[in-house]
Amino acid sequence: MNQATRKSGRLRAFVRNDHRYVFLGGGLLALVCLALISAAPSEHSFLGTDNFICGLLTGICCVFLAAAALALIVKLTHWKTYGGTFLKKPGPVRAARIYSYVLAAVFALLAADRLAVKLADTVRMCAAMDSNPPEFFLSMFYMTSKSMGTIAYGVKTTVFLALAGTAIAFVLGILMAFFRIQTPDKRDNDFVKFLKSAARTFASFYITVIRGTPMMVQALIIFFAGFNVFTHFTDLSVAEINRIWSTSTAGLITISLNSTAYLAEVLRGGMESVDVGQTEAARSLGMTGWQAMLKVVFPQAVKNSIPAIGNEFIINIKDSSVLSVIGCMDLMFATKSVSGIYYRQLEIYCMAAILYLILTYLSSLLLRYLSRKLDMPNTRGIPSSN
């Protein structure tokens, strides 16, 4: 609420206030508008060309350009005393500002007609073509629209793998982080001491192995290991095994187990970053180590870790691409299949890059919004891979 009013206040201030470079920026915008007017209109263009509206828009741009040119001359001749010239009187300043908004509206109109409608027309044209056109962008649109189903399925799988993988890894990561921080206490009995050291050793071994090997290798090992288990212990045929032990199951297990190691370290860092005084206060009130952990330390640790967990999700969107090596039908595998159908690589891989970028960018926007809602430190941009 507060933020919203501040935002609208800022917008109002922007519209009302004097802007120093209104002629410079507006002039550039006017030139771009003229270029767009002279560009060839597409099939569904609502403005058309060589008609009254286009003439009017050209006129608006030219008038502004003339005013900008006049301002430039005045500035050059009155370099030091420009502030005192008639152009800096309240009337002309306000007129120039309002005119610049008209110009912005003209630009928006032209951008919709000459760029957006044109893009839509091009895509539609490409979709209707019978053969793959040689031009780069046309081919990109052609292949994408012809294999829309495959690519949409790939996007869906990628998002599912990243979401489910991160969620499963979060749960397992909590467990692993707890294992990792166990320290045998003088007051424990021998069995508890043994359990604690075993858990701790297991967790650090797991984390070292998983973080020290590439996910692509992990995916291959998990997939074939699972396959071997089925061939050794059941009498199922290969086709039946493939149905049960599908590549997406193996992929999901891989990405979950991989993320578990990273999230365990994130959560451990989160727990260790909580001031030791919090635990001491809880213990001094008679709470057990577990109660102190669950009621005091852990909630704070998770809250501190949320930005890093979000980053892990974005990394998983990108890194799930290596699961295509076992034939997991994610966006990468879908793209590879499409390129195999058309024998055209560059265009469709660029399309894949664009789709990945859209996914990660949307996720990072969403996470930034969430962290602001939860009153947490912001993460900026898209995190790099592991």
Given the rule CB under 8 A, which residues bind another protein?
A: 186-187, 275, 277-278, 280-288, 291, 295-296, 299-300, 303
Query: Helix, strand, or coil here: 29?
Result: helix
Nearer to another protein, 200 or 283 (CB): 283
Nearer to another protein, 240 or 275 (CB): 275
- The least CB distance from residue 312 to another protein, in Å, is 22
Cβ proximity of 159 and 318 under 8 Å:
no
Query: Helix, strand, or coil here: 332?
Result: helix
- The least CB distance from residue 283 to another protein, in Å, is 7
Nearer to another protein, 18 or 275 (CB): 275
Count CB neighbours of 316 within 10 A.
26
Nearer to another protein, 94 or 295 (CB): 295
- The least CB distance from residue 298 to another protein, in Å, is 9
- The least CB distance from residue 299 to another protein, in Å, is 5
- The least CB distance from residue 89 to another protein, in Å, is 50
Nearer to another protein, 15 or 192 (CB): 192
CA distances from 365 to 302, 369, 378, 379, 380 (A): 20, 6, 11, 10, 9
- The least CB distance from residue 282 to another protein, in Å, is 7
Nearer to another protein, 286 or 377 (CB): 286
Question: Which own/partner pairs from 363-369 qualify as long-range (CB within 8 Å, at least 24 positions apart)?
Answer: 363/310, 363/313, 363/314, 363/317, 364/314, 367/307, 367/310, 367/311, 367/313, 367/314
CA distances from 254 to 220, 319, 325 (A): 9, 11, 12
Cβ proximity of 330 and 320 under 8 Å:
yes
CA distances from 138 to 120, 124, 134, 152 (A): 12, 10, 7, 19
CA distances from 201 to 169, 212, 267, 376 (A): 19, 16, 17, 33
The CA-based angle 329-264-353, given to 5 degrees, is 35
Nearer to another protein, 31 or 296 (CB): 296
C-alpha dihedral sign at 117, 118, 121, 126: negative
Nearer to another protein, 4 or 276 (CB): 276
- The least CB distance from residue 375 to another protein, in Å, is 10
- The least CB distance from residue 296 to another protein, in Å, is 5
- The least CB distance from residue 265 to another protein, in Å, is 22
Nearer to another protein, 196 or 303 (CB): 303
Cβ proximity of 281 and 334 under 8 Å:
no
Cα–Cα distance, 115 to 35 (Å, whole number) = 12
- The least CB distance from residue 292 to another protein, in Å, is 10
The CA-based angle 296-300-303, given to 5 degrees, is 150
Nearer to another protein, 55 or 299 (CB): 299
Cα–Cα distance, 329 to 362 (Å, whole number) = 22
